[in-house]
Amino acid sequence: MGIRVGIDVGGTFTDAVMVDDESGEIHRTKVLTTADDQSKGTLEALQQLVEDPKSVSSFYHGYTVGLNAALTRTGAKAGMLVTAGHRDLVDTGRCWRPFDENLYDATWERPHQARPVVDRRHRREVPERMRENGDVLLPLDEEATRRELEFLKSEGVESVGVCFINSYEHPAHEQRVRELIAEVMPEAYVQTSQIWPLAREFERTFVVMLDAYTGPPVARYLQRLEARLEEAGFDPRVEIMQMDGGLRTSQSVREAPVFTLQSGPVAGLLGAEAYVREVLGARNLVCLDIGGTSSDLGVIVDGNAEVTNEWELEHAIPLAVTTLDVRSIGAGGGSLISSDEVGSLQVGPESAGSDPGPACYGRGGEQPAMTDAYVAMGLLQPELFLAGRMKLDRAAALAALERVAAPLSMETVQLAEGAYAIANTKIAAAVSAMTIDRGLDPREFSLFAYGAAGPMHSVAVARELGIAEVIVPYFPGGFSAFGMTASRSRVEHSRSVMSLLDGLSPEQINAALAELASACRGDLEAQGVAAEDITLEHVYYGMYSGQGTDNRLLLPGGELDAGDLEKLAADFHDYYERRFGYRAPEIPIMVTSFVVVGYGPVPAVTLPGAERNGAGGESGPERAVVHTATLHLDGVATDDAPFYDRAQLLEGDEIAGPAIIDDKLGTIVVNPGATARVESHGTLRIEV
């Protein structure tokens, strides 16, 4: 019990949410991110929310220190030791070109070739080699290793990653090298394949390399943060948000900082997961978070966010750790609207950013952005925008749009509505990629929309996909920080198997899982989780023998017997039928790895807006109308369309489109033909 605080550092703002489990109150604040040292703004936000430091029982945190270092190539001075002959692996990008506008472009440069994370000079070769079965083909040449380490040391390298071919099952050489590094460079940060002991050398080398690169700055950051907290009277123990959606103590994060590389968008998805649990029951949700600059998409199935191993920092710079699957969509409020030399109409991918920003921001932006289209359509009203704190220049918006519309001989509003439609198509396409490619049918989902502009597109996108309803939580801002307070500890331990299911006995499988489970328990207990609060999930990765892309599948809990394995195989074939449209029962099943995931307890989740519950009365939603204006939506112009203040809406209110609901930081569009209803906690459910 007590006060729990979540603080998420974003690009522009640091969001903080304070939850008082006893009183059920939620408070939030935001401060500008202090880019030079993110812990400054973090403490500032914390102190704004909390008077008595001793009242804080849990502090959750997400930062972008590692991500920024990786993106701007300002991480640790790092070196790599690799198997002799494989020094250029990370530059190969596995040879292929992306399926986008760069595919045929001879001037496209592969990101790691143009801007390496660790340059070739500091990737050193060590004579050693193992076969896939662990046989040593070449023993480790310790003298050569020492020579390379001396070189790296002389180059000022402070962090060393070690990744050898086939080491994922046979770590002996890497372990010995770790010892040698301790002798030659005792101060160095060291990471090896033990951080991700799975096959696929390209992915594994990058996990090790990105950790060696971002680990030291993250470790230094955590040190500074803890010092600041302690000085200010707070308990310095912090729980850090990871990419897999779980929390880990800052102490244990230091063992593998790269797992926290990009946690912000993940935390937002956790907020959605919490909402599903507390307010909506188990549901399938497509989560759409569109802000002014960024747009993120995630999918929740049966109440759990989907995970992926295919996250990339940039093209062919993968981080293959398990992460909640949050993808960026190239369409948002800042997307620029343009035409080209043949009259094609485009929305994005370039963005207006925040400076100068869309034309209607009045900062001198000349190119029209989606926000300008919102203004032209009437969705954004200058009087209401950001509760009047910022004036929108409608004339500038129209002028910018006219510049693109005129050569096309389109009307300004026509262009605005057209850009809106194209943006919706792009968002819908991104949703299709995350659902249909997984064998999921979007029509079985609800669309959960948040962020300043998410609820502006949601009804239109839902209609494109055949989704029946849109849900908009009452949570003006700080969804990521809130998501952290709703999260729990998570650890994952895996081991490579690479064996046919037929060749595995229940005893072997149970033994392997038990070992991993024990590692999870140990890991969690070391972080302070009580043994009785631990829950485990057993997972295997499998594919048909001969394939190369495995699938993450759940195992039943507890000890398995022969009957369980038979059912496992049957379920596997069913899965393939559902997802890929065929089954191949005559082909053996290859198990590539086992994973056990350990969780700490789920905290009690306090949701804002509880005071709106059951508050409906005789008065209708008209009490909440604060404005009327002309709306252009779905090709229909509606004069005197109502604009509602969300804060004045009560449970039970029903609003028919076309209408706009304004909640100070975002805008909810109820298209013609759609009906919005206010439910508990102020949640809006829109029937499209």
Partner 1 sequence: MAITGTAVGREYFLTAEEVEASYGIDLVTAETLRHGLIEVTRRMWGTLLRSSFSNIIRDAMDFGVCVHLVDDDGSTQLIGITEGCTQFAFTHQHMTNLVLDEYGIENLGPGDTLICNDSFRGGIHNGDLNLFRVIHDEDGRPAFVVTDAAHVFDIGGPGAGGFNNTATSIYEEGLRIPPTLITSGEKPVRQSMNLLLENTRSPLHMLGDLRALLGTLRTGEERVRALVDRYGTETVKAAGHYALGLAERRMRRALAEVPDGEYVDEVMIDDDGVVIEPITMRVAVRVKGDEAEIDFSGTDPQSLGPISTGWQEAARSLIGPKVVLDPRHPMNAGAMRPFQVLLPAGSMVLCLPPSSQNGHPELACKLSRMMIDVLSKAVPDRAVAPDSGTSGAIICVGSDDRPGLEGQPFGASLIFGEAWGGTQTTDGISFCLSPLFNCRSNIIEYTEKANPIVIWELGIAIDSAGAGRFRGGFAATYAFEALTEAFFTPILDSARFAPPGLDGGGSGATTVGMLVGRDAAGSVRTWNGVLPAERLTPLFGKFDADGRPDPVGGSWDERMRFQSTKPTMEPMAAGEVLRVHVACAGGYGDPLSREPERVLRDVANERVSPAQAEELYGVVIDAATLELDEAATAALRARRAAERNGAGPPLSHFKDWPKTEAEFRQLLERPVVGAGRPAVGKE
**Region 330-359 residues binding partner 1, contact defined as CB under 8 A:** 341-346
Longest distance between any two alpha carbons in the chain, whole Å: 85
Residue 418 engages partner 1 in binding (rule: CB under 8 A): yes
Q: Give the nearer residue to partner 1 in terms of CB position, either 330 or 652.
A: 330
Q: Taking CB under 8 A as the rule, which mask of x and - marks residues 22-61 in contact with partner 1? A: ----------------------------------------
CA distance 447 to 474: 15
Residue 199 engages partner 1 in binding (rule: CB under 8 A): yes
Residue with tokens 């001879």: 106
Segment interacting with partner 1, rule: CB under 8 A, options 28-36, 403-411, 522-530, 607-615? 403-411
Residues 526-545 that bind partner 1 (CB under 8 A): 544
Residues 96-135 that bind partner 1 (CB under 8 A): 96-97, 99, 101-110, 113, 119-121, 125, 127, 129, 131-133
Q: How many residues bind partner 1 (CB under 8 A)?
A: 87
Segment interacting with partner 1, rule: CB under 8 A, options 215-223, 423-431, 620-628, 663-671? 423-431
Applying CB under 8 A, among 115, 151, 350, 687 the residue interacting with partner 1 is: 151
Residues 614-653 that bind partner 1 (CB under 8 A): none
Could you give the 3-state DSSP secondary structure of residue 398? helix
Q: What is the 3-state secondary structure (H, E, C) of 201-212?
A: HHHHHHHHHHHH
Residues 168-187 that bind partner 1 (CB under 8 A): 168
Q: How far is the CB of 25 from partner 1 (least distance, A)?
A: 45
Q: Give the nearer residue to partner 1 in terms of CB position, either 23 or 344.
A: 344
Residue 414 engages partner 1 in binding (rule: CB under 8 A): yes
Could you give the 3-state DSSP secondary structure of residue 491? strand
Helical H runs in 73-200? 89-92, 111-114, 142-154, 172-184
Q: Give the nearer residue to partner 1 in terms of CB position, either 169 or 235.
A: 169
Residues 549-568 that bind partner 1 (CB under 8 A): 549
- Per-residue b or e along 239-267, where b marks 16 or more CB atoms closer than 10 Å to that residue's CB: bbbbbbbbbbbbbbbbebbbbbbbbbbbb
Residues 202-231 that bind partner 1 (CB under 8 A): 202
Applying CB under 8 A, among 32, 35, 137, 182 the residue interacting with partner 1 is: 137
Applying CB under 8 A, among 36, 183, 302, 437 the residue interacting with partner 1 is: 437
Q: Give the nearer residue to partner 1 in terms of CB position, either 18 or 633.
A: 633
CA distance 311 to 409: 42
Segment interacting with partner 1, rule: CB under 8 A, options 54-62, 161-169, 262-270, 650-658? 161-169
Residues 472-531 that bind partner 1 (CB under 8 A): 498
Beta bridge partners of 317: 314
DSSP labels for 21-84?
TTTTEEEEEEEE--TT-HHHHHHHHHHHH-S-GGGEEEEEEE--HHHHHHHHT-S--EEEEEET
Applying CB under 8 A, among 184, 386, 584, 629 the residue interacting with partner 1 is: 584
Q: How far is the CB of 74 from partner 1 (least distance, A)?
A: 9
Segment interacting with partner 1, rule: CB under 8 A, options 64-72, 194-202, 232-240, 565-573? 194-202
Amino acid at 270: L
How many Cα atoms are found within 13 Å in the side-chain-facing hemisphere of 406?
7
- Sign of the torsion formed by the C-alpha atoms of 165, 166, 168 and 170: negative
Q: Give the nearer residue to partner 1 in terms of CB position, either 126 or 287.
A: 126
Q: Give the nearer residue to partner 1 in terms of CB position, either 5 or 543.
A: 543
Q: How far is the CB of 351 from partner 1 (least distance, A)?
A: 18
Residue with tokens 């907020």: 271
Q: Give the nearer residue to partner 1 in terms of CB position, either 22 or 437.
A: 437
Q: How far is the CB of 437 from partner 1 (least distance, A)?
A: 3
List the structure tokens of 576: 């393939």
- Sign of the torsion formed by the C-alpha atoms of 63, 67, 69 and 75: positive
How many Cα atoms are found within 13 Å in the side-chain-facing hemisphere of 85?
7
Residues 79-98 that bind partner 1 (CB under 8 A): 84-89, 91-97
Q: How far is the CB of 504 from partner 1 (least distance, A)?
A: 14
Residue 281 engages partner 1 in binding (rule: CB under 8 A): no
List the structure tokens of 47: 């102190």
Could you give the 3-state DSSP secondary structure of residue 149? helix
Q: Give the nearer residue to partner 1 in terms of CB position, either 115 or 277.
A: 115
Rg of the chain in Å (alpha carbons): 26
Choose among 83, 71, 77, 67: nearest CA to 10. 67
Distances, alpha carbon 474 to alpha carbons 67, 444, 667, in Å: 30, 23, 12
